[in-house]
Structure 1
Amino acid sequence: MLRTAGCRALVSGRRFRTWSRGSERGRPREPILQPSTKRNSAGPGTLSAVGLVSLAFSFFSQDQKEQPNPEDDIILLIKKAKLSVITGKLEDADRFLHQALKLAQQTRNNQAIIYTYTQMANLAFLRGDLLNAEKLFKAAMSQMLGSGTQQDDNAVIEMSLKLCSIYASTEQHGLAVEGYKWCIETLEDKIQSQKDLPEETLSAKEKDNTRLLLGMTLDSCARYMVSRKQLDLAESLYEKALAISRQVQGETHPQTVVLMNDLATVLDMKGHHERAYDYVRRASDLARETSHPDEYVILNNLARVLMHKGRYSEAKLVYEEALKQAESKADQPVIERIREGLGELEAKTLKVQVLGEKSH
């Protein structure tokens, strides 16, 4: 990314989705990359939980002393910032993080500086301040690379991925594409080099973390390709991401279910309705079996595929079930999409009835 973006550069799409490197349950989303304005997913959606959060307090894990310790103050300020984000007090969070950064710089605590910059960038992204988020992510990466972190370190790639989403959101297509390409190629090379390393050199968990990061990158890039109407490439990327999720996380993992649904969406858009049905049917079955929190979103997609296959009666029943679930969760955007689908289905059904009457 240094060659294309001024630095080596995650949050769905749309909002970034969370893979299980500190994962929450995934959610199917519209194929558009944008900062989250509704949910704080605390995952690859916000970079802290995809790797850096798990390292955060290990940065400051030296033995505690009874006398005042600047690191204790930094930790406290970061905790206050995190609590402020959770409670929606974003201005307070920004103030606490600036205080933490000032103290980290005064004490020349490089690890604290890096982590605080990252948290400030995540916060700016959450608030939709993409220009500032970009500057802060670059500042964090500059600190990391300057302190000896390798360019293929997962934390660097995670921040590179977030920069890709910023470039995609701001329609900087060239930077977004080059960024995704760099992230994918770097991770593929890294995985290949790690493949035969013994467990005592690199644990299976660490190898899986890198594979999951590749899966997350493929997923994010696929969603961007959908938004650019490059459906063949999106299909290929989704297939690779789905294979990784199945292998590492299992068939029933929420993220695997989401990827099945998203792949079905692309296939349906390409007119491959039978293949789309196979994937979305499986996704809906798994969503029901595992009590997936966004089952109704997948049901909405299933209904649409059924409608495109001409199975109108079945589609209506599935739409109605999806609407019932969406209304119970007061998810207004999804409710509106389902109602639009029902309206389209009603029009198609009426047209078939009219044509049938004319034929007699």
Structure 2
Amino acid sequence: MSSRYRFFWTKFCRASSCFRSIQNNYSSIHASRIPRTTKPFILGFSLFTWLGFDKKLTAEDELVHTIKHCILFIQKNEYEKAEQLLHVALRQAQQIHHELGITYIYDVMANLALQREELDKAKQLFIVVTQRIMGNGTSEDDPRVLHLSVKLARVCHLKKDYTTAQLGFDWCLEKLYKLAETDPSPNTKQLLSMAEDWCGRLYLDVDRCEDGLKLMKNSLNRMKELPDFETEHLVVQLNDIGTVCDRLGQTDESIKYFKEAIELAKSLEMDDLGTMYVNLGRAYLKTSLLDAARKSCGQAWKLGVLAKNQGVKQEAELCIKQINNLL
């Protein structure tokens, strides 16, 4: 293990007891009831393929069926049911001593914890998965280890440990750029896109907006190259990039990104569509395109009323008031 990665790793787990306590008694980690929030996660992107799990088990196996039901519950945002069934799947895997299955289930648990912002729990579980994989002789340059390291860096960011998060992202991006040269597969591109997006968002929080915008744009372009990308995630990226452009005074650029986000969001009937219209209206307002601004904010107001979303409705009304003051 290189000195840079060792330093990054020891910031998470300074003793093997952390690993043993979770592996031997997962029930000691309690799920806190944190509501789902809108975050730029790509959590459906797991270790399933890279672990070779699909090659080791058949679709008829009871364990596979249990895990598939867990994933379905997560996709439906039924997190409590997913949590309970994951414990069942873990016991099944332990009873048949299926080490690969155990590793994969811990990975699903970790991703679920991150999605629910149960950060300490997510950190511990990602440590478990990483140690299980590296315990079999896997190198730190392996895509599976890089995948987990990116998510550990994200956990640091969300916990506001910006120094460790930056160290982790720098190391991961350096390795991933090299990996992309020899392995330009969709899995590598998706992982690199995720790392760039998350590192870009870290830069925004430490007032490095120009650097953050560059990485977020790189991530967006890579995501668009993938044969199968999550449209909802793409919408979030577009809207957030537009917001950063607006913050940096690049108003024309922000309008382009907001409009693209809105067009995609329309087909998905996303709840955040009203907010995007407000963002677009404010950008038009800055460029003195008052008619376009009024139209966008008026559409936002309608969506806020229909959805009974007082926040969007009030923001739209404020935007319209600002427009009227300029007439």
The TM-score range, normalised by the shorter chain, is: 0.7 to 0.9
Structural RMSD (CA): 3.6
In the alignment, what sits opposite 2:30?
Answer: none
The whole-number CA distance in structure 2 between the counterparts of 1:77 and 1:254 is 27
What TM-score do you get using the length of structure 2 for normalisation? 0.76
Q: 2:155 aligns with which of 149, 166, 185?
A: 166
What TM-score do you get using the length of structure 1 for normalisation? 0.70
Q: 1:277 aligns with which of 255, 263, 279?
A: 255
In the alignment, what sits opposite 2:105?
Answer: 116
Q: Name the SS for the 1:50 alignment partner.
A: coil
**2:122 maps to amino acid:** A
What's the CA shift for 1:336?
0.9
Question: Cα distance 1:249–1:116, how it changes in 2: closer, same or farther (>3 A)?
Answer: closer
Task: Provide Cα deviations, 1:307-337, integer angstroms capped at 9, x if missing partner.
Answer: 222333321220121232354455x3xx514
In the alignment, what sits opposite 1:5?
Answer: 9
**1:181 maps to amino acid:** D
In the alignment, what sits opposite 2:204?
Answer: 226
Q: 2:45 aligns with which of 46, 50, 56?
A: 50
The whole-number CA distance in structure 1 between the counterparts of 2:281 and 2:116 is 34
The whole-number CA distance in structure 2 between the counterparts of 1:60 and 1:40 is 35
What's the CA shift for 1:187?
1.1
In the alignment, what sits opposite 2:90?
Answer: 101
**1:239 maps to amino acid:** K
Question: Cα distance 1:173–1:342, how it changes in 2: closer, same or farther (>3 A)?
Answer: same
Instruction: Check conservation: 2:162, 2:202, Cα contact below 8 A.
Output: no
- For residues 113-262 of structure 1, the aligned pairs below 5 Å read 113-194=102-183, 207-248=185-226, 255-262=233-240
Instruction: Check conservation: 1:260, 1:283, Cα contact below 8 A.
Output: yes
**2:54 maps to amino acid:** S
Question: Cα distance 1:308–1:250, how it changes in 2: closer, same or farther (>3 A)?
Answer: farther
What's the CA shift for 1:345?
4.5
What's the CA shift for 1:101?
2.8
Q: Name the SS for the 1:287 alignment partner.
A: helix
Instruction: Check conservation: 1:316, 1:342, Cα contact below 8 A.
Output: no
Q: Name the SS for the 1:236 alignment partner.
A: helix
Instruction: Check conservation: 1:50, 1:158, Cα contact below 8 A.
Output: no
In the alignment, what sits opposite 2:21?
Answer: none
The whole-number CA distance in structure 1 between the counterparts of 2:35 and 2:144 is 24
Q: 1:315 aligns with which of 288, 293, 297?
A: 293
Unaligned runs of 5+ in 2: 14-32
Question: Cα distance 1:279–1:36, how it changes in 2: closer, same or farther (>3 A)?
Answer: farther
What's the CA shift for 1:265?
1.3
Task: Provide Cα deviations, 1:261-300, integer angstroms capped at 9, x if missing partner.
Answer: 322211110112223223334444x437x72433444323
Question: Cα distance 1:291–1:88, how it changes in 2: closer, same or farther (>3 A)?
Answer: closer
In the alignment, what sits opposite 1:61?
Answer: 57
Task: Provide Cα deviations, 1:98-132, integer angstroms capped at 9, x if missing partner.
Answer: 34334434543220111111122223334432112
Q: Name the SS for the 1:291 alignment partner.
A: helix
Moved more, 123-132 or 163-172: 123-132
Question: Cα distance 1:100–1:56, how it changes in 2: closer, same or farther (>3 A)?
Answer: farther
What's the CA shift for 1:133?
1.4
Aligned-residue sequence identity (percent) comes to 24
In the alignment, what sits opposite 1:68?
Answer: none
The whole-number CA distance in structure 1 between the counterparts of 2:77 and 2:233 is 26
The whole-number CA distance in structure 2 between the counterparts of 1:306 and 1:40 is 25
Unaligned runs of 5+ in 1: 10-34, 65-71, 196-206, 354-360
- For residues 11-22 of structure 1, the aligned pairs below 5 Å read none
Question: Cα distance 1:124–1:63, how it changes in 2: closer, same or farther (>3 A)?
Answer: closer
Q: Name the SS for the 2:36 alignment partner.
A: coil
The whole-number CA distance in structure 2 between the counterparts of 1:229 and 1:327 is 36
What's the CA shift for 1:220?
1.9
